[in-house]
Amino acid sequence: MRILVAGATGAVGRQLVPALIVAGHSVIGTTRTSAKAEAIRQMGAEPVILDGLDAQAVRAAVIAKQPEVIVHQMTDLAGVTDIRHFDRAFAVTNRLRTLGTDFLLAAAREAGVRRFVAQSFCGWTYGRGGAPVKTEGDPLDPDPPQELRRTLEAIQHLERTVTGSEQPEGIVLRYGSFYGPDTGMLSRAMIDQLRRRRVPMIGDGGAWWSFIHVADAASATVAAIERGKAGNIYNIVDDEPAEVSEWLPALAAIVGAKPPFHVPAWLGRLLAGEHVVSMMTEVRAGSNAKAKRELTWQPSHPSWRTGCAEIVGQPGGHSAAA
């Protein structure tokens, strides 16, 4: 198929474009900067320089390239570390999830695109009560902390708009928290924070998180393009959801850091905000059972624990001595 990947140089896009080409597809990749166009070309795709918030440019590109499938991976999260001011840090990404989704989907309809697959998130978005591991049928948080509300509203807009589309048929992928070389939980910024003991354990660390290696996020996306059911949402996460009290000290040990400091919840609220305390003590993980069943997909890195250790142990993988 002829596939347009919007956001081809992001964390997933860098893995997805080569995976699609290996699977036999023809790929067009978009980027906002000319400096990254060559990277797309080197991956074997056709680059298009495009601002996802420019409706006319989006329309022109989609109509000119005539893809059969569009994959919406547009975010603006590189280098985001200020989670205290969460909605401010996610402001551009939220516009890409709302206006960017609307522009891309409208262009897709006009161009006769058959399938539209969009990136969402699996984690703090779920309701904080009940079982620690949620399925796609469980409700999202009806009353999130104030600092998360605009971001959750943007995610809900994307999910509602995409899954409600019949032409093109829409599919949403809720990725877990990313990790990979220089990515997400193993980014240089995160490793530096862990080694400086600036990521404390807040409260009882009872929140549950789900993770996904970026290569597995890409392979699941290929599976969704080829085998996903129209109008569906899939949690794309590994096999080992974990409480913060488990994964945070384990991750610190993997990167050669000392155990994290402990901060009581009341102090965490003062220093970081209610939303950060919630992420450490209340949020829920996701189940990948539906994705495994309907997409016939299996993560090649079933556990964040072994996946992170493998990356850190590789040359250039930020070993304990780095």
Asked whether residue 250 carries a pLDDT value surpassing 80, the answer given is: yes
Phi, psi of 188 (to 5 degrees): -60, -40
66: its two tokens: 């005539």
- Whether 317 has a pLDDT exceeding 80, the answer reads no
CA distance 210 to 119: 16
- What's residue 293's pLDDT? 98
User: Residue 308 pLDDT > 90, yes or no?
Assistant: yes
> What is the average pLDDT across 147-162?
97
Instruction: Tell me the C-alpha distance between 233 and 129, whole Å.
Output: 21
| 128-142 pLDDT per residue, tens | 999 999 999 999 999
Q: What is the pLDDT of residue 122?
A: 95
| pLDDT given at position 141 | 97
Contact predicate 151/90, CB 8 Å = yes
Over range 98-108, report the average pLDDT: 98
The pLDDT score that the predictor gives to residue 321 is 35
**What letter represents residue 202's amino acid?**
I
Q: pLDDT (tens digit, 9 = 90+) per residue, 57-97?
A: 999 999 999 999 999 999 987 766 667 788 888 999 999 99
Q: Rounded to whole angstroms, how far apart are CA atoms 59 and 66?
A: 11
